[in-house]
Each structure stands twice: as C-alpha cells, then as structure tokens.
Structure 1
C-alpha cells in the first residue's frame, strides 16, 4: 500500500515477457505486436521491466521435452528462451487467429511450456506457481474469445495464476479486410478493445504484485514434492 492507503502502482520489482506467436519473423509488421504494444506501454509506465519476443525467431523444435536436442533434433531454440520465460513474473501469450484457432507457433509454445510442468519451485510446487499469465489475440475472423479461452485454460492448467479478465483481443469483419494495425481498421479506436486491454494489463500487474509481495500461494496443500513424499494434506483416503 502507498502512504495514503491506496494500492501501490509501483511495480518496479516485476518483470514481464510478452511472447508473440505471430507467424511473421522479425522485422515483418505484426498486428499482434501492435496490440501488445499498448499493454507493454502501460506496464513500462508503472515500472515493470518488459521484454517482447517473437517465438518464430527462435527456431523452436516441436515436442514436449524441455530440450528436444536430447530427443534427436539437431537444434532447439527453446532452452535459451525458457530461461527468460522462467524468470518472468508475468507471461502474456499473443497469437493471431488462423482457421478459428491459435497459430501453429502458439500451439508449439504451449507444448513446450507443458514440457516443464513436472518441474518444481523452491517450495516444491509446480514451477509456474506464483506467476501470472494472460493472452492477446488478433485476427480477421471470429474466434478471439475461443483462442483466449484455450490459452488461459492451458496456462492455468500448468500452474500459472490467471487473474480476472486476463485476455484481450481484436478481430475485424469476417473474411478479408484490414488487420488491426492497418489504416482504417478501427482496432486502435475500439473503446471495448482498449478498455479490455487496459483492465487485463492492470489485473496482471496487481495479481503478480500480490503473489510476489505476500510470499506466493502457500505450499501447504499444493506441494507436489510433499505429495510424492507421502503427505496427503487431509485427503480423506490419505
């Protein structure tokens, strides 16, 4: 809390990674990046250290192991990227919509995140505990809520905390037409889109700060290490 009793808006102890799953390698323009930019600006204005990365630039191998070089792939860009994912208090996955679904790159990223779901933090909880996540989605077809639902479910399933209203997006008219960053698209001027993006950003910052400054979710009842050691946390058939 600030001295006047209001919630603190100093988030200088937080870090965020915006992982853009566009199919376009840098420096090609990305509509998903354009929508992410306003969320990034809000976070940086409040002291969050933010990094934006395009997954497609990192030659990520397919698979569900932490390092697919151990499974026969000659190269895998994920292990180096994983260090940045693990260090971030906030993860925002961004994806375009193709055929009503998240991009193939985004599916690949979710699979690689899942590869770490058996790892634990210092409290014996799954490694994604006490971190928060959200999603940003763009497209020229229906489906942003469907994609957001899929992403936020996947992220909470592996241990991320998903705060209220943690997904934002914009879609144009069904079929061919201007994309978010194109002149005349209406996206940057959409009050609904910009309000939703703003609320998502603040929810992510507030929740990340609450978790970090309170010591996180208690390990009692949530420690996979303790469970493996025989602790049953009052389960009636323990």
Structure 2
C-alpha cells in the first residue's frame, strides 16, 4: 500500500513568502517520498479557515476541504513556528477545528482518526519547541491520532539572537538525523496500523 502524508504548515506568512516551517515540512516530505509515501503540503494561512470547533463553520469556510485531505491521509504532519514560546495561532486553530473529530466515528464505531499517525516539526529562534510538541501531541492523541517514537523534530536558534531555519547554509546534523528517524518511525507505524486496525470494542 502507498502511504499518504499531509503536511499542514502553520506559518503566519501567506504564500509566496518564504517560511522556515514550510521548508522543514518540505524536507520531511522529501524523506517520506524516499520511502515510497506520497505527500501534499497545505499552507493553512492561505485558506479561510474559520474559528470554531465544528467540522464546517458555514459558507466560505475552507476547513471542510482540508478536513477531507486529512481523512484521506495516513500520516498528518503539523509544522509550526514558535511565537513567544508557543505554537502559532494558525496551529492552534487547526487543533481547535480537529476537536470536531471527537464526535466522528467510522462504520464500526471507532473515532474517525484512529489508525492515523501524527508527527510534528517546530522551528524558531527562541525556546519553546518541547512545550509546543507536548501540546500538539496531547491534542492530537486526544482526537485519536497515534504518535510514533521520536515523532517530532525541531530547530531552535541561538538564544537572544536573530536568524531563521531557512537562513542556514545546511541542515544541522542533529536535525537531519532526527528528521530521518521521524520519517522512518512514522512510515513503520502507519504501515502497522494499516495492517492491524485498532479494535472496535
């Protein structure tokens, strides 16, 4: 089976502006492709995702289309910058909209996101990546996603200095190694869950 990966980049910068979150997400999608998975990237800020906790917030809401892409994917990647020590407001809105999935079930009564894998990438020139990853994974696990071992990657710039991930001449070895582990473990877990579904009861 060919695994499908959806990357939601939660930068605050609309296209075509360059984005460190977008860059690390694309790097991960390239690694997924090397393992035979097909990938798609959606920059959430380019779409009119309305505030709320329903699956569809009415006419003009772009979330239902993104939601369909999530439903079709085996692996969800959320990539976010760090702002004042927290995930971006765009990433927070994604989590709020995913809250609607708590009431959605498959034809055997399992939550709709059971069997899907979630991974995360965080970039920023300030501290906060560990807390952001913890918050993301808690929310995604509550909704029904499964998190692989070492399923997150991040880059923090030097404290009290400027600079972005996209400004680096090359990917630091520690980040490249972590990226590879994330992808390897996510593909393994998604394959296992595809072959062995969670029990309905």
Alignment TM-score, normalising by the size of structure 1: 0.81
Larger Rg: 1
Assess if the C-alpha contact under 8 Å between 2:24 and 2:79 holds in 1: no
Q: Does 1:118 align with 2:103?
A: yes
Task: Kindly indicate whether structure 1 or structure 2 has the higher relative contact order, using CA contacts under 8 Å at least 6 residues apart.
Answer: 2
Residues 97-124 of structure 1 deviation map (CA, whole Å, 9 limit, x = unaligned): 0000000000000000111211001221
Structure with a larger share of its residues in helix: 2
1:158 matches 2:182: no
Residue 187 of structure 2: which of 196, 201, 205 is its match?
Answer: 205
Q: Does 1:29 align with 2:18?
A: yes
TM-score normalised to the size of structure 2? 0.96
Q: How far, CA to CA, are the matches of 1:218 and 1:48 in structure 2?
A: 25
Give the unaligned 5+ runs of structure 1.
Answer: 1-11, 221-238
Q: How does 1:1-238 map to 2 (within 5 A)?
A: 12-69=1-58, 74-184=59-169, 188-214=170-196, 216-220=197-201
CA shift in 2, pair 1:160/1:170, >3 Å: same
Query: Which consecutive unaligned segments of at least 5 residues does structure 2 have?
Result: none
Task: Classify 1:134/1:183 alpha carbon distance in 2 versus 1 (closer, same or farther; 3 Å).
Answer: closer
Q: How many residues align?
A: 201
CA distance in 2, matches of 1:61, 1:42: 32
List structure 1 segments (4+ residues) > 2 angstroms apart after TM superposition. none
How far residue 197 of structure 1 moved from its aligned partner, in angstroms, is 1.2
After superposition, the C-alpha distances for 1:23-68 in whole angstroms (9 at most, x for unaligned) are: 0111110101111222111111121110011111111000001111
TM-align CA RMSD: 1.2
